[in-house]
Amino acid sequence: MGELSGHVLLVLWGGFAIGLIFGAIGQRIEFCLSGGLREWWSEGRPRRAGAFFLASAVALAGTQLAAGLGWVDLGASIYYPGSFSWLLVPAGGVLFGYGMILARGCGSRALVLLGDGNVRSLLVLLCLGLAAGAMLTGVLAPLRLAVAEATEVALRPGEPSLPGVLASAGLPGGFARAAAAVVAAAGLAGWALFRLRLARHPREAAGAAGIGLLVPAAWMLTGRFGADDFDPMPVESLTFVAPVTDALQYLMLSTGLSLRFGVAVVAGVVLGSAILSLATRSFELRGFESAREVVRMAAGGVLMGGGGALALGCSVGQGLTGLSSLALMSFPAVGGILAGAWLAVRGPEFLRIH
């Protein structure tokens, strides 16, 4: 829509570059919470899950450092709302977690696989985008809003995050943030490296740390370089539910819409993965093997889209970005995602996906 001003262009190109890196690393180390949890819980190989949690720890440390230095105002992001639904956020997480096992990968993984020539993920992404749109702004939105209102818990101003709660319990603000960040990041990283044995795979560990660093990089990009006096960009970082919907919408309505950060990231991830895949000659078209698989992928996409919209984020959006902000809301969301995945991998027989 018209000419874009400098800070908007910077944020969009920066988002595209972050997407390229995410796509390339993600493809290299097969970065995937869904695949990681399945391998860990059903085959006893925790390495890939460990990579996800290490990325989460690095994202947390970097983001809290940037916030502590005053470089980014996390309070302006969607993760610090005045209230959230105690029902929809964890329930959305469960739906998302179950859906990502069903679809054999979350939204970001589907984007990486698409760049690699996997056309199954095209169906996953279309279903995810449609379902998320229906839930956020479409036919299911009135229901979502009604339930959200009925199950709302108000958060007191100043404490929608872990450091905020500690600070209001009497700790000095800067110390509360540092303490929460160090304990959470070190604990998560140590657990991933040693208990989940990621330390034995330095290449994966380095890749995961690289992906983790993209989260504070994106926070800085939108929150610092996008903070124009007159036209501030929304403060956000990596997430792959709403941006997939926005990308589909942008494809259809670009003449009447302005390009958003998340859409630039989505485009970057697909292209980053595709470039690497073509450069290493691993690009190969892969399709469905059975009609059953079509249904499975579509259902997984729908559950991820609808669930991710309710939980305000996906495995990356809450598991990396949300946790990096230490937002209170992100803990039930991530708990829900893990619980949903557990139901699908180790749950009662009738829920289990083989």
Q: Does 70 bind another protein (CB under 8 A)?
A: no
Helix (H, G, I), strand (E, B) or coil at 85: strand
Q: Name the segment binding another protein (CB under 8 A); options: 39-47, 117-125, 130-138, 184-192.
A: 130-138
Q: Name the segment binding another protein (CB under 8 A); options: 22-30, 52-60, 76-84, 162-170.
A: 76-84
Q: Which is nearer to another protein, 61 or 316 (CB)?
A: 316
Interface residue with another protein among 44, 69, 229, 348 (CB under 8 A) is 229
Helix (H, G, I), strand (E, B) or coil at 161: strand
Q: How far apart are the two ends of the chain, measured CA to CA in Å? A: 47
Q: Which is nearer to another protein, 7 or 28 (CB)?
A: 7
Q: Does 309 bind another protein (CB under 8 A)?
A: yes
Query: Could you count the other beta carbons within 10 Å of the beta carbon of residue 104?
Result: 22
Q: Does 141 bind another protein (CB under 8 A)?
A: yes
Cα 277 from chain centroid? 23
Q: Name the segment binding another protein (CB under 8 A); options: 9-17, 216-224, 251-259, 298-306.
A: 251-259
Q: Does 257 bind another protein (CB under 8 A)?
A: yes
- Give 312's contacts (C-beta < 8 A, 6+ positions apart): 78, 79, 84, 89, 92, 318, 322, 329, 333
φ, ψ of residue 185 to 5 degrees: the values are: -70, -45
Q: Name the segment binding another protein (CB under 8 A); options: 116-124, 226-234, 263-271, 340-348.
A: 226-234
- Give 130's contacts (C-beta < 8 A, 6+ positions apart): 245, 248, 302, 305
Structure tokens given for 77: 């992001």
Q: Does 1 bind another protein (CB under 8 A)?
A: yes
Query: Helix axis angle, 120-136 relative to 141-150, nearest 10°?
Result: 60
Interface residue with another protein among 9, 175, 258, 282 (CB under 8 A) is 258
Which residues lie near another protein (CB under 8 A)? 1-2, 76, 78, 81-84, 136-138, 141-142, 145, 148, 157, 229-231, 242, 249, 253, 255-258, 309, 312
